[in-house]
Structure 1
Amino acid sequence: MTTYVITVPGTFLRGVPDDVCSDIERRLRPQDPKNTDLGESEQLSLLTVDEDGMFAARVEVEAADQSGAEAEAVRLVSRALRDSGFAQEDAPLGAAIVTGIDREF
């Protein structure tokens, strides 16, 4: 298995109170990329939100390949958003991007 750091971009189409951002981060905390060498050295934030509503969630996932890692990351972020009260149409996601790879041999 390989550990990937995946960035999932998106846009909040309605305002997001700070307590909701904290709730999303809490739900994603087990996948915090700071647990990886890349996340620690690059000081990656779990969730960043711009004033215009654009956001990036960065998560650590283990998968057999890149496409599996990207799909898992989107699933995790989608679930965190949904569980925090956002319908898919309120916070559409963009394509997941591999931010880093830590292969285990």
Structure 2
Amino acid sequence: MTTYVITVPGTFVSSVSDAARSDIEDRLRPRDPQNTDLGESEELSLLTVEEGGMFSARIEVEAADRSSAESEAVGLVSKALRDSGFAEDDAPLGQAVVTGIDSEF
């Protein structure tokens, strides 16, 4: 298995409160990329929200390949958003991207 750091972009259609951001981060915390060498060296943030509502979630995923890692990351971020009260139309997600790879040999 390989550990991937995946970035999942999206957009909050409406403004998002600090409490909602905190709730999403809490739900994603077990997948915080700070636990990886890449996350530590690059100081990756778990959730970044820009003015205008665009956001990026960066999470750590273990998977057999890049495609599986991206798919799992989108599912995890989607679940965190839904569990925090955001409908799919309230926070649509973009294409996941591999930010880093930490292969174990």
Normalization by structure 2: what TM-score? 0.99
Hey, what's the Cα distance between the residues in 2 that align with 1:40 and 1:88? 31
Kindly state the Cα deviation for residue 15 of structure 1 after the two structures are TM-superposed: 1.0
RMSD of aligned alpha carbons: 0.3
Deviations 1:40-91 (A, max 9, x none): 0000000000110000000000000000000000000000000000000110
Q: How far 1:36 moved relative to its partner? A: 0.2
In 1, Cα distance between the equivalents of 2:79 and 2:73? 10
Q: Which ranges of structure 2 fall in alignment gaps of 5 or more residues?
A: none
Query: Moved runs in structure 1, 4+ residues, more than 4 A?
Result: none
Residue 38 of structure 2 is matched in structure 1 by 38
Q: Which residue of 1 aligns with 2:92?
A: 92
2:59 aligns to what? Answer: 59
Distance, in Å, in 2 between the alignment partners of 1:102 and 1:38 is 8
Q: Would you say 1:8 and 2:8 are equivalent positions?
A: yes
Aligned length: 105
Hey, what does 2:81 align to over in structure 1?
A: 81
